[in-house]
Every structure is written in structure tokens, then in C-alpha cells.
Amino acid sequence: MCGIVGYIGSKRAADIVIDGLKKLEYRGYDSAGVGLIENGKLEIIKKKGRVVNTEESIPKTFNGGVAIGHTRWATHGVPSDNNSHPHRSESIAVVHNGIIENYAVLKKELEEEGILFQSETDTEVIPHLIKSAISHSMSDIHKKKREACYLHAVLMAIKKLKGSYALAILNSDFPDTIVCVKKGSPLVVSKSESSVFVASDVEVASSHGKNVYILEDDEMVLLRSDEVSFFDMNGREKEKDPMEYISNESADGFAGNPHYMLKEIKEIPQAIHETAKSVENCFLKLPKWKLNKLKKIIIVGCGTAYHAGLSAKTILETHTGIPVANEIASEFRYSNPIIDKNTLVILVSQSGETADTIAALDIAKKKKALTLAVVNNATSALAMEADCKITTRAGKEIAVASTKAYNSQLVALYSFALYLSVVLRKINSQKARELKSKIMETTSISRQVIEMGLDKIDKTIIDIFKNEKAVMFLGRGVDYATAAEASLKLKEISYIHCESYPAGELKHGTIALIEEGYLVVAYLTDSLLKDKTLNALYEVKARGAKVFAITNQELPKDAYDYIYHVPSIGIFSPITSIIPMQIISYFTAIAKDYDPDKPRNLAKSVTVE
Ligand code: G6P
């Protein structure tokens, strides 16, 4: 998703901004651009494609110390040089992450004033609105200081916008400033002695200074090389203290691996271990008296995070006796959910910045539900705004396709289920400790599964997948959740059409797709449901399907064509049974010559609706 950077200081701003954009590449993008102040003049360089295209187009003679930059993930208008950011209106350049929902109305009004638009984007209305507001407030110019007048104009323009925005604004009439505004999309400012830096991501921002300011919604900030001033939406200056952010990320890049995805798969054991070890501290901060009154739990998320919630439903229900529903965040936010103060809404998100999940949090809070964020990014909007949080300790995940974050989300959610069942006196602490030690065991078991996978998943196995046009994933109960996540993993990086179905539902329509040679991947790790899933396997085999079974059970030989054994860890098996398909997906993408870290059309963190 779009990424923003900005810099003011004594170094060559172009270098710093390009470096920042490269660090934001993981978010997913299709074009990039930079706006700089060079000898008092605004210069814009923007190109479709990789950041390096923009980098190579910046004249070597541009040595100024002020710049903003952007990676664009197209929403309004195709990826093109013109639609890339920054967008400008004379002396003003803007980069934007978010969506301006009322841009069509605003564009029409501006066009009626005679403004000619250069792009198809929603963003371009913003510089024109600011320019127009500056012109209108010129009559006041004698009463106000010029700069205050400019900030006032920015606020006037912002008040017309509906939607979400993180903005960095450059104005060559105020060449030693950058103005930023935030609503909905993330923005973090960092400050060192002689420079300020702003970025969409705390890790990237903190690489330029450990003192960071995480912007809240409806905040405006004026940046100068030696000063950071915050304002509310009425233009009143406000105090804001920085927080010290020490990254726990090592700067080891790929750590000897060809891709982040493989590196992150290998980090699963550590992610599980760190999460399992630390979640208990998070539980200590949960309000027990509210947990005791719960009548309903809803787990909300998108993509992989949604699947983690699906996987946790059974364990939560069986151990707490509280009904659990799973909701996709983009559906939940408009569903007028029937929830109240006796409902726990768990919001699962790796980034903590997914726009739909944040909107789901807002709805849940408005309806007075208790909200619990399960996030990997402890400084994210979700982590800050939910009533309570559990932090997964997967470490930074860069590959777009989520791997280690999923395994740690399962650890966090399963551990929470045990904690809650003790609070509710459904199981005693001794039993909970025994079960928790099983979760801890998944650290070493995951290590074995990865080692075995990297050894065993060879060309023969990848050949089964790589030439398929479509693959069906089946499972029941928790195995269905694993099948859904496995299906997402394979489709998002290998571009093979994948469907996931609860095995028992297959015969109500989807089995019509099965024909000679169709590949079906089946998960069978739940001994109670194994025989039921086997029925579905016989049904698809009878119609010519090839079955690839992933299981910790003994299966009759005529039920499958290929069998992949995973260890059994009882109800916690999903923590590790997903791993073979994470590895298979990775190597299938490689075999098809696709970049598994940057799949087409996808973004790591979806900060727009
Ligand atoms: C994007 C990513 C997925 C991720 C989903 C939810 O679609 O490509 O990998 O699962 O967003 O992200 P979150 O950060 O909320 O877990």
C-alpha cells in the first residue's frame, strides 16, 4: 500500500528519501515519486515501476535538504508517471496514503474554478484545495503571519476532505518546512539533532532517530530541521512528547536467504517461542471482571489474520463455553453488529494498520464492546486504540505473504483461550499449564517440520503444483481454517486459482468443478473429523481428482495419491501443520519465476478501504 517519507536536514534529501522509499517497498506499490526543493524551486520526479526508476531520474546536481517521497499502490487511475505522487498545484506538492471519498465532487468544484487536472487520482484535489485556500485567505495576510496563514489554508482544505489520509506537503514558498496531516492512515515522525524525518512506518522512521512521534488522527505537524510543532484541527498548537523506539529488528536483510519469505518461514520457531513466552504478561493487563461477564466473542480480521481467528474459534468455544463468531473486517464494519458491553471483539492484525480492521475496532468501541487487539506491531493504531492488546512477537514481517505472523497469531489466540478458560473456571490452572506446555512444544516441533520440509519438498512435490490451473483445498473444523490459509498462501504468490472449502460442503455445488486430474489438497489433523474428510476424498477421487493429503493420521492408501506427514500436537496441530504449504507455496512461486516477496497487485499493509 502507499508509503510516505519526508526529510528536512543538512544531508542530500534525495538520497535519504529514496532510501526510505526502498525500505517501504515491502508494503507493495506500482510507482514512486519524489518532490524536492532545489534552489527555492519545487521539482517533481515520478515514475511508474520500481523506486530505482525514480532514483535514476533525479539529477545528480539536486543537493537540497528538503524532500518528500511516495510509493503508490494504484486505487484511482492506472499506474503511470502522471498518476504517481507527488501531485502539485504551482508551489505545492502533496503525497498521500489513503482514499479521498468525496474527490469527484471536489474535483468538479475545482474544475469549475478553472483548474486543470493532470492526473486521474483522488489525491490531486488536495494541492489544488490548499492553493485555493491560500488564495482566499490572502485578504487576511496582513493580520496573520504568512506561515500561520499557510497552515490555516491547509486546515481549510483538509476540512473539505472525506476519507482517509496521511499527507506530507511541500511548499516552495515555505522551503524549509514539511507539513503533515493524519487521519486513518499511519504516519510517524522521528527527530534527531539536526534533522527530522517522517515515514508511514515506525521501523523506517526510527532508522533516522530513536525519538519518534506517532501521529494520531486529526493531527497536523509542522516539520523544520530543528523543530516539530503539533496542531489540532482548529489550528491550536498542542504539546506532544516523543517516545523512544528501539527497534528489535536486526539489520541483517535476507540473512543469507534469497527472499524474505524463506527467511521468515525459518524464523517461525523463534516467533512461536517469543510469543508463547511473552503473552502471559499481556494477559495480566486484561480486565478480569469484564472477561467474567462475557456472553459472546467475535474475532475480526482480514486475509491471514481472519484465518487465524477461524482457527481459534473451536478452541475458544470448547474451553470457555462462550459462543464465538468470525467476521471479515470489511463486512463487519458495515453489518451493524449486535454487540454490547458483554461482547469481546478480538481484532487480529499483523500490521495493526489495516483500514478495515481499524474501522471494525471503531464500531466495536462505539457499541461499548470490550476490544482486544492481537497485533504484531505494538505501536500501531490498532494496538494504541483497542482497550487491551496482546502483542505477537514474530518480529518484522516483510514478505507480503504472511507466514511467521500467522503461526504466532495462533499461539497468541490459543494461549488466550486457555487463559480465559481459567478466568472463567472452566479448567484449573494445572490443566492450563499442561496445555500451555504443549503450545511451547510447538517451537521445537515447528523447527523439525521446517527442516523436514526444506529437505523433503523437492522438485517432485513442486511439480505436482506448479503446472496446475486450479487447486481445491479441503478440511473440516480447524483443518478447514488451515486449508483456507494454505489456499491463500498458494494463490497469492503462485497465481494459481485456489479454492478452499469445508470438506462436507463440497457436494453442495463445488464438486461440479472436479474432473480428471484436478488437484485437491486435504488437511486431516483432527482425529475426530478424519473419517468425515475421508468421505470427501473418496468422492473427489471417484471423479478423477489427484489427492495430496497433509495429515498426522494413518490414512487408507486408496484415499490419496500423495501423503505428507506432519507431527500431531493434538488441538494445537494447526500451529505447525500449515508449515508444509507455506514452504510449498514459496517454492512453487520460485519454480514459476515469480518474486514471492512482492506478488503482483498485493500490498503488505492495506491502509485504504
Ligand atoms: C494484506 C496482506 C495479507 C494480510 C492482510 C491483513 O492483504 O497481503 O498478508 O493477511 O493484509 O493484514 P494485517 O496486517 O491486518 O494482518
- Which of 392, 406, 490, 606 should be mutated for ligand 1, with most atoms under 8 A from CB? 606
Any idea of the CA torsion for 172, 214, 30, 499, to the nearest 10 degrees?
A: -160
Instruction: Show the low-confidence residues of the chain (pLDDT under 70).
Output: 137-144, 248-252
Ligand 1 pocket member 28 (CB < 6 A):
no
C-alpha cell read off for 439:
503450545
Render the burial of 488-511: b for 16+ CB within 10 Å, e for the rest: bbbbbbbebebbbbbbeebeeeeb
Q: Give pLDDT, residue 75.
A: 85
Ligand 1 pocket member 304 (CB < 6 A):
yes
Q: Give pLDDT, residue 141.
A: 52
Q: What is the pTM of this model?
A: 0.87
The DSSP code for 322 is -
- Reply yes or no on whether 604 is catalytic: yes
C-alpha cell read off for 248:
528489535
Distance CA 47, CA 29 (A): 12
The DSSP code for 254 is T
Q: Give pLDDT, residue 143.
A: 44
Grid cell 493580520 in the structure block, residue: 143
**CA dist list (Å): 478 to 11, 154, 324:** 54, 51, 14
- Reply yes or no on whether 388 is catalytic: no
For ligand 1, the distance from its centroid to the CA atom of residue 594, given in whole angstroms, is: 20
Contact predicate 466/588, CB 8 Å = yes
Q: Which atom of ligand 1 sits closest to the CA of residue 357?
A: 15
Angle at 540 between CA 536 and CA 542, to 5 degrees: 115
Distance CA 530, CA 525 (A): 7
Ligand 1 pocket member 27 (CB < 6 A):
no
Render the burial of 515-553: b for 16+ CB within 10 Å, e for the rest: eeebbbbbbbbbeebbeebbebbebbbeeebbbbbbbbb
Ligand 1 pocket member 604 (CB < 6 A):
yes
Ligand 1 pocket member 350 (CB < 6 A):
yes
Q: Give pLDDT, residue 145.
A: 76
Ligand 1 pocket member 380 (CB < 6 A):
no
Ligand 1 pocket member 392 (CB < 6 A):
no
For ligand 1, the distance from its centroid to the CA atom of residue 304, given in whole angstroms, is: 6
For ligand 1, the distance from its centroid to the CA atom of residue 302, given in whole angstroms, is: 6
Measured by CA distance, the residue closest to atom 3 of ligand 1 is 303
Q: Which atom of ligand 1 sits closest to the CA of residue 305?
A: 16
- Which of 605, 607, 608, 609 should be mutated for ligand 1, with most atoms under 8 A from CB? 605
Cis status, amide bond into 175, omega within 30 of 0? no
Contact predicate 487/498, CB 8 Å = yes
Ligand 1 pocket member 399 (CB < 6 A):
no
Query: Given 191, 389, 396, 604, which residue is catalytic?
Result: 604
Distance CA 94, CA 102 (A): 17
Distance CA 351, CA 212 (A): 18
- Which of 27, 29, 302, 492 should be mutated for ligand 1, with most atoms under 8 A from CB? 302
Considering just the CA atoms, what is the radius of gyration of the chain in Å? 26
Helix, strand, coil shares of the chain, percent, nearest 5, are 40, 25, 35
Coil, strand or helix: which one is 474? Answer: strand
Contact predicate 406/423, CB 8 Å = no
Query: Given 2, 180, 282, 498, which residue is catalytic?
Result: 2
For ligand 1, the distance from its centroid to the CA atom of residue 229, given in whole angstroms, is: 33
The pLDDT tens digits of the residues spanning 363-393 come to 999 999 999 999 999 988 899 899 999 999 9
Q: Which atom of ligand 1 sits closest to the CA of residue 377?
A: 14
Distance CA 424, CA 291 (A): 8
- Which of 350, 389, 397, 598 should be mutated for ligand 1, with most atoms under 8 A from CB? 350
Backbone angles phi, psi at 366, to 5 degrees: -60, -35
For ligand 1, the distance from its centroid to the CA atom of residue 375, given in whole angstroms, is: 11
For ligand 1, the distance from its centroid to the CA atom of residue 407, given in whole angstroms, is: 14
Ligand 1 pocket member 400 (CB < 6 A):
yes
Distance CA 103, CA 608 (A): 15
Backbone angles phi, psi at 78, to 5 degrees: -65, 160
Strand order across the 66-72 sheet: 41-48, 31-38, 66-72, 3-8, 196-199, 188-191, 211-214, 243-244
For ligand 1, the distance from its centroid to the CA atom of residue 352, given in whole angstroms, is: 9
